[in-house]
Amino acid sequence: MNSDSLYQSPLSARYASKEMSSLFSDRHKYITWRKLWIALAEAEQSLGLAITDEQIRSMKAHLHELDLHLVAEYEKTLKHDVMAHLHAFGDLCPEAKGIIHLGATSCFVTDNTDLLQMKEGLKILHAKLIQAIRNLSSFAHDHASLACLSYTHFQAAQPTTVGKRACLWLQDLLMDLHDFEEKISSLRFLGAKGATGTQASFLALFNQDHGKVKQLDQLLAKAMGFERLIPVSGQTYTRKQDIRIFSVLSSFAATSHKIATDIRLLAHLKEMEEPFGEKQVGSSAMPYKRNPIRSERICGLARFLMSLNENPLYTAATQWLERSLDDSANRRMCIPEAFLTADAILSLLVHVTAGLVVHPTIIRKNLLEELPFMATENILMESVKKGKDRQALHESLRGHSMESARLMKEGSSGDLIERILGDASFDLTKDEIAELMKEEHFIGRASKQVEEFLHEEVQPLLKKYEHISSYNPLVFV
């Protein structure tokens, strides 16, 4: 049967990067199993077990000779995936067959490989997130003082700046980056704990030498790039680790959903757009459409990733005593899917933030339509300074505002300022009102906040990671 006749995950076939898809591929996983078997043999040899250099050399020589068809034939008979791979690897290096997997249980390769993949996956995401932060940092700097309407409840509110809004996005991404870093550094290796976590098999191999069994664990962790070990376990490492990792991924998904939603709303207002290709088609039916499809996809993928956050909670809650096998099939799916989804979101986020298009004319038009209403308090105070009756002026402003808003809803231009200028009770000139309506009077410290935030929070972080190469993802529609 042709491969195109079988279902493929859209994540690996369409959305996720080759780097992340390769990390969670069958080939990478099973080669990692073999690397763990080699590391185990080397550690056991160094601690005095009768394992020869020739046996280890043979395992290393055949490391990448992976015949998945042969493995499948073994599994048909054995009904056990790890044993099938043991037999297939043993066929390649018969001189080492008797010492491969010595003292270990299946979770030695399966659980430790999951941890290795998740740690590397977090590193991939971390590097891409740095690029998204770079992009938004430049964007925030360039638009630090560009005044725009802000929106609460998606209703016009006190103005802010485009750069300040981008800093709200940036701040959340910095939190996500910190969480990624914390998980990368704190993730613990299972090591070699045996069938129920007691290390009884290894204690027997080393003639009841507890010190050597502890050393074995430490040597394995170091060989596989981990600084810390799970101190106690059943057959598996505590699934609380998965909960913590998925929590970070889903939190990042929520950040991305928020950013993409904001961009979609601003695209509707025609104030900002995601990048749009010269020959890109927005709709198969409506040729004029410029739908924010990448931001929409971010939201769709983020929603899926957030939904996966429940999964490890159930898995951790249903670990019977030292372990139950019902988490195995589940984790084969949810761990790769979570990382591939996060990777796809980040590739899109980097692409979108690198090419955001701002329309200052529309931004100013939208701002000026609402600014007269926001200026009414300043106008009121200025007239009171001239000795006018505050309560009477307040009632006049209310009436003028309601009438001007009614006309705008009917399609006419706002005329609130003209109404105020025509009302002698305010005693204000056109120049005085123009001064009161200058945009800088309404954006508070927004521009300064951008400057301070970028200088104090963002630039030191980017300086720390300036060695990380720039990332320019290839994003397909």
170, 171, 174, 178: CA torsion to nearest 10:
-160
DSSP bridge pairs for 116? none
CA atoms within 13 A on the CB side of 143: 24
Q: What is the pLDDT of residues 65-114, one digit of tens each?
A: 999 999 999 999 999 999 999 999 999 999 999 999 999 999 999 999 99
pLDDT tens-digit map of 387-409: 888 898 889 888 888 888 888 88
**Do 208 and 186 share a domain, yes or no?**
yes
Of 52, 65, 125, 55, the C-alpha closest to 96 is 55
Q: Are 407 and 414 in contact (CB under 8 A)?
A: yes
Cα gap 267→43, rounded to integer Å: 58
Across the range 450-462, mean pLDDT stands at 97
In this structure, the answer to whether residues 308 and 197 fall within a common structural domain is yes
Q: Are residues 432 and 332 in the same domain?
A: no
* CA distances from residue 127 to 117, 137, 467 in whole angstroms, order as listed: 16, 15, 10
CA atoms within 13 A on the CB side of 288: 0
Axis crossing angle, helix 310-317 with helix 328-354, rounded to the nearest 10? 160
Does residue 355 belong to any structural domain of this protein?
yes
Q: Quick check: is 381 in a domain? A: yes
Place of tokens 């505590």: 238
Residue at which a domain ends, from 30, 64, 96: 96
Least confident residue range of 130-144, 151-165, 449-463: 151-165
Asked if residue 36 and residue 136 are part of one domain, the reply reads: no
Tokens 């006749």, residue located = 5
Say yes or no: 202 and 345 in one domain: yes
Residues ≥6 apart with Cβ < 8 Å to 126: 177, 180, 181, 184
CB contact set of 347 (below 8 Å; sequence gap of 6+): 15, 16, 17, 128, 473, 475
Tokens of 19: 């780097």
Looking at the structure of the chain, the number of domains it has is 3
Q: How far is CA 352 from CA 60, 139, 259, 292, in A?
A: 44, 12, 10, 10
Residue 391 belongs to domain spanning: 376-436
Q: Are 177 and 315 in a shared domain? A: yes
Give the end of a domain, one of 96, 118, 142.
Answer: 96
Residue 377: the pLDDT is: 79
Distance CA(472)–CA(132), nearest Å, equals 10
Q: What is the mean pLDDT of residues 442-470?
A: 94
Question: How many Cβ atoms are within 10 Å of 461's Cβ, its own excluded?
Answer: 16
Q: Whole-model pTM?
A: 0.90
Q: Are residues 347 and 412 in the same domain?
A: no
- Is a pLDDT exceeding 90 seen at residue 301? yes
User: Domain holding 31: CATH number?
Assistant: 1.10.275.10
Q: Average pLDDT in the 210-225 region?
A: 97
Residues 131 and 168 in one domain: yes
Task: Please pick, among 153, 284, 413, 467, the residue that the annotation labels catalytic.
Answer: 153
- pLDDT band at residue 2, thresholds of 50, 70 and 90? low
Same domain, 231 and 347: yes
Supply 153's token pair: 């409840």
Cα distance between residue 100 and residue 51, in whole Å: 10
Residue 374 in tokens: 């926001």
Q: In the Cβ-directed half-sphere of 375, how many Cα atoms lie within 13 Å? A: 23
pLDDT in tens, 242-300: 999 999 999 999 999 999 999 999 999 999 999 866 555 555 455 455 788 999 999 99
451 domain residue, yes or no: no
Per-residue tokens: 274:
């995601």
CA pair distance 161, 198, nearest whole angstrom: 60
Q: Is residue 415 part of a domain?
A: yes
**Is residue 470 in some structural domain?**
no
455 counts as catalytic? no
Q: Which of 185, 283, 307, 412 is catalytic?
A: 283
Residue 3 binned pLDDT confidence (cut-offs 50, 70, 90): low
Helix (H, G, I), strand (E, B) or coil at 309: coil
Same domain, 228 and 207: yes
Residue 203 CA to residue 197 CA, distance in Å, equals 12
- Residue 302 confidence (pLDDT): 98
Q: Shortest CA distance to 68 belongs to which of 121, 17, 25? A: 25
Instruction: Please say whether the beta carbons of 78 and 84 come within 8 A.
Output: yes
* Domain identity same for 68 and 209: no
Tens-place pLDDT, residues 18-59? 999 999 999 999 999 999 999 999 999 999 999 999 999 999
DSSP structure string for 229-286: B-SS-SSS--THHHHHHHHHHHHHHHHHHHHHHHHHHHHHTTSEE----TT--S-SS-
Residue 28 corresponds to which amino acid?
Answer: H
Within a domain: 383: yes
Q: Is residue 191 domain-shared with residue 250, that is, in the same domain? A: yes
Check residue 284 and give its pLDDT. 47
Q: Are 427 and 386 in contact, with CB atoms under 8 Å apart? A: yes
Q: Note whether residue 368 is domain-resident.
A: no
CATH of the domain at 396: 1.10.40
Return the number of other C-beta atoms located less than 10 Å from residue 292's C-beta. 23
On whether the CB atoms of residues 473 and 351 are closer than 8 A, the answer is yes
Could you tell me the CA-to-CA distances from 223 to 39, 235, 236, 265, 402 in Å, in that order?
7, 21, 20, 49, 73
- The one-character DSSP state at 49 is -
Q: What is the mean pLDDT of the chain?
A: 91
pLDDT band at 440 (very low <50, low <70, confident <90, very high): confident
Report the pLDDT value the prediction gives residue 439, as an integer from 0 to 100: 83
CB neighbours (10 Å) of residue 425? 12
**Residue 116's closest CA among 241, 234, 15?**
241
Q: Dihedral, CA atoms, 308, 312, 317, 320, nearest 10 degrees?
A: 130
Q: Which amino acid is at 452?
A: E
Q: Which residues contact 71 (CB under 8 A, 6 or more apart)?
A: 30, 81, 84, 85, 88
For residue 441, is it within any domain?
no
